[in-house]
């Protein structure tokens, strides 16, 4: 079994630590980097709770090895809100639309929406709603999430809806 | 669950990847997009000694024009295929099929070659390769070879790929501009594997079907080319095509199975319906007549 020295940028900060090859990116982010906002539901790509942004794209953290993210730019839910606690537009939209209850699925939902509403990669309403099929939520009934997604689609890229 | 321990190699050239694969002598697994392999590792259904990651092999990436064909590097990501203007122009039905593979988040990692090399019988891309007469380029330390997609699949997750071989690219022959594309799948939820699916293309010249490539997915142990239906269609004037009869014939070529998602009977019934409906929609002129 191989162990690797892995360095990546997590939420704008450089992180270097060791991990076995078999450690998933989601476990690495939680265990090595302390980003416990990365939730792990199923570990086989079905639920979407572990979704993080790697080099600008929303991906399943459980379906990538940490060692594969060597040199990558990773964003987790911890990296979204401003230093003074001001929520990211996606977080604010979910909050406003009552799009969460227990919050387990929420970090994943937030990261997909954040990736798809970032300046330069703004998706339309239909694309945003379709991307939500990659997330399972066991509480909200999805209507709040859909409302938030529609609101975000209507707002200019990177701006508060 | 967490994967069993393994060694990890990340070659940067095809030669290095082939050498590592040959040296491992069957104990290695290739990691492409990982959207199927990682679940299998996490569930410990796959326990390789070595994982050879192809993600740093630049030569396996990208979409290019070949001679009367479009060549897709095996490590081209599904999201890149969807965004490709070249593919949208040359192979619209492939783009449609890729959009049905998994979810947005898995398509950001998943690759075209990974899906085609894996050979899941209910997957969209292997069937698309079979329907469109794609050629699969394969390499190993022993040399290069090519195979028609139609001869590549032997059974569920079984292909003619030897343990020391890897898929480098898939070549899709050109279809003339304005050809008709056919795609339909029935799945329980978006992103699920299809219960039944149909993909293909038709060329109509002088009101008659001049070329046809159609294949089923989820209708047997491999993607299945609808050869008898194609023969029925070829040379037919559009107004003479009986969609239901062709669909019956197309279903007769399949070998669907019962599983916990659907029975073989269900698959045959739904298969016939979607085949007939897809054909009818492909020729709206006839519908109006
Ligand atoms: S934990 Fe990754 S998709 Fe469920
Ligand atoms: S808010 Fe509880 S799972 Fe989505």
Where residue A35 falls among pLDDT bands split at 50, 70, 90? Answer: very high
Are residue B201 and residue B238 in the same domain, yes or no? yes
Interface membership of B2 toward A (CB under 8 Å): yes
Within 8 A of A64 by CB-CB distance, chain B residues are 34, 38, 109
Interface membership of B12 toward A (CB under 8 Å): no
The answer to whether B151 and B115 have CB atoms below 8 angstroms apart is no
When divided into structural domains, chain B yields a total of 3
A104 lines ligand 2 (CB under 6 A): yes
Query: How far, in Å, is the centroid of ligand 2 from the Cα of A6?
Result: 32
pLDDT tens-digit readout, A42-62? 999 999 999 999 999 999 999
For A68, the closest of B53, B105, B106 (CB atoms) is B53
A139 lines ligand 2 (CB under 6 A): yes
Where residue A159 falls among pLDDT bands split at 50, 70, 90? Answer: low
Is the Cβ pair B8, A27 closer than 8 Å?
Answer: no
Within 8 A of A2 by CB-CB distance, chain B residues are 6-8
**Among the three residues B108, B140, B173, which one is the final residue of a domain in this structure?**
B173
Answer yes or no: is B1 within a domain.
no
Query: How far, in Å, is the centroid of ligand 1 from the Cα of A47?
Result: 5
Is the Cβ pair B10, A67 closer than 8 Å?
Answer: yes
Are residue B105 and residue B160 in the same domain, yes or no? yes
The answer to whether B94 and B87 have CB atoms below 8 angstroms apart is yes
HSE toward the beta carbon, residue A39, CA cutoff 13 A: 19
| Phi and psi torsions of B106, nearest 5° | -80, -30
What's the confidence (pLDDT) of residue A157?
63
Are residue B127 and residue B158 in the same domain, yes or no? yes
Where residue A122 falls among pLDDT bands split at 50, 70, 90? Answer: confident
pLDDT tens-digit readout, A86-118? 999 999 999 999 999 999 999 999 999 999 999
Within 8 A of A130 by CB-CB distance, chain B residues are 104, 190
User: How far is residue B169's CA from residue B61's CA, in Å, rounded to a whole number?
Assistant: 9
Q: Which residues contact B206 (CB under 8 A, 6 or more apart)?
A: none
Domain of residue B195, residue span: 180-283
Query: How far, in Å, is the centroid of ligand 2 from the Cα of B103?
Result: 19
pLDDT tens-digit readout, A6-32? 999 999 999 999 999 999 999 999 999
Answer yes or no: is B43 within a domain.
yes
Interface membership of B53 toward A (CB under 8 Å): yes
For B6, the closest of A21, A68, A131 (CB atoms) is A21
Task: Identify the three-state secondary structure at position B141.
Answer: coil
Question: In the numeric block, which tokens belong to residue A78?
Answer: 């911890």
| Residue nearest atom 4 in ligand 2 by C-alpha distance | A137
Answer yes or no: is B2 within a domain.
no
Are residue B252 and residue B161 in the same domain, yes or no? no
Are residue B255 and residue B166 in the same domain, yes or no? no
The answer to whether A47 and A63 have CB atoms below 8 angstroms apart is no
Within 8 A of A44 by CB-CB distance, chain B residues are 38-39, 42-43
Sheet containing B224-225, strands listed edge to edge, beginning at the edge strand earlier in sequence: B180-186, B196-205, B208-217, B224-225
Answer yes or no: is B134 within a domain.
yes
Find the angle CA(A19)-CA(A21)-CA(A22) to the nearest 5 degrees. Answer: 100
Q: Which residue of A has its CA nearest to B1?
A: A43
**Which residues 190-249 of B are in CB contact (within 8 Å) with A?**
190-191
Is the Cβ pair A4, B8 closer than 8 Å?
Answer: yes
User: How far is residue B184's CA from residue B106's CA, in Å, rounded to a whole number?
Assistant: 21
Are residue B134 and residue B66 in the same domain, yes or no? yes
Interface membership of A133 toward B (CB under 8 Å): yes
**Among the three residues B173, B202, B225, which one is the final residue of a domain in this structure?**
B173
Are residue B74 and residue B167 in the same domain, yes or no? yes
User: Which domains does chain A possess?
Assistant: 3-79 (3.10.20.30), 89-154 (1.10.150.120)
The answer to whether B49 and B7 have CB atoms below 8 angstroms apart is yes
**Among the three residues B173, B201, B226, which one is the final residue of a domain in this structure?**
B173
Mean pLDDT per segment of 10 residues, for chain B of length 289 residues?
Answer: 96 98 94 97 96 98 96 98 96 97 98 97 97 98 98 97 97 95 94 93 95 97 97 94 95 94 96 96 62
Interface membership of B45 toward A (CB under 8 Å): no
CATH number at residue B49: 3.30.43.10
Q: How distant is the alpha carbon of residue B148 from its chain centre?
A: 12
Burial class (CB in 10 A: 0-12, 13-18, 19+), B178: exposed
User: How far is residue B245's CA from residue B234's CA, in Å, rounded to a whole number?
Assistant: 14
Q: Which residues contact B58 (CB under 8 A, 6 or more apart)?
A: B12
Interface membership of B6 toward A (CB under 8 Å): yes
């Amino acid at each position: 079994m191989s162990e690797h020295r892995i360095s990546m940028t997590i939420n704008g900060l450089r992180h270097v630590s060791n991990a076995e090859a078999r450690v998933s990116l989601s476990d690495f982010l939680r265990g090595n980097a302390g980003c416990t906002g990365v939730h792990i539901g199923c570990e086989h790509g079905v639920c979407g709770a572990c979704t993080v942004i790697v080099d600008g794209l929303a991906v399943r953290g459980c379906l990538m090895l940490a060692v594969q993210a060597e040199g990558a730019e990773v964003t987790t839910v911890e990296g979204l809100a401003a230093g003074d606690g001001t929520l990211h537009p996606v977080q604010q939209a979910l909050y406003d639309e009552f799009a969460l209850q227990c919050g387990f699925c929420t970090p994943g939902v937030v990261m997909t929406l954040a990736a798809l509403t970032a300046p330069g990669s703004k998706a339309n309403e239909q694309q945003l709603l379709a991307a939500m099929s990659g997330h399972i939520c066991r509480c909200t009934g999805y209507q709040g999430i859909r409302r938030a997604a529609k609101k975000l689609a209507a707002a200019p890229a990177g701006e508060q809806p | 669950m967490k994967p069993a321990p393994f060694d990890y190699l990340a070659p940067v050239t095809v030669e290095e990847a082939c050498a590592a694969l040959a040296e491992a002598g069957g104990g290695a697994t290739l990691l492409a997009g990982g959207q199927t392999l990682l679940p299998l590792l996490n569930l410990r259904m796959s326990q390789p000694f070595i994982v050879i990651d192809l993600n740093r092999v630049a030569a396996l990436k990208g979409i290019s024009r070949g001679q009367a064909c479009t060549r897709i590097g095996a490590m081209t990501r599904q999201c890149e295929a969807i965004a490709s203007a070249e593919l949208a122009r040359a192979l619209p039905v492939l783009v449609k099929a890729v959009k049905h593979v998994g979810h947005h988040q898995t398509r950001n990692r998943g690759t075209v070659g990974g899906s085609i090399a894996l050979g899941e019988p209910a997957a969209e891309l292997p069937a698309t390769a079979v329907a469109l007469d794609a050629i699969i380029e394969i390499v190993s330390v022993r040399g290069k070879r090519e195979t028609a997609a139609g001869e590549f699949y032997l059974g569920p997750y079984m292909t003619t790929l030897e343990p020391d071989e890897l898929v480098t690219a898939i070549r899709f022959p050109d279809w003339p501009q304005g050809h008709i594309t056919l795609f339909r799948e029935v799945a329980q939820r978006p992103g699920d594997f299809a219960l039944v699916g149909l993909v293909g293309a038709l060329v109509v010249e002088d009101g008659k079907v001049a070329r046809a490539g159609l294949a089923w997915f989820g209708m047997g142990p491999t993607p299945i080319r609808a050869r008898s239906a194609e023969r029925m269609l070829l040379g037919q004037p559009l107004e003479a095509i009986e969609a239901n009869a062709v669909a019956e014939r197309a279903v007769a070529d399949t070998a669907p199975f019962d599983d916990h998602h659907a029975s073989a009977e269900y698959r045959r019934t739904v298969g016939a319906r979607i085949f007939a409906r897809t054909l009818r929609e492909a020729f709206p002129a006839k519908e109006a007549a």
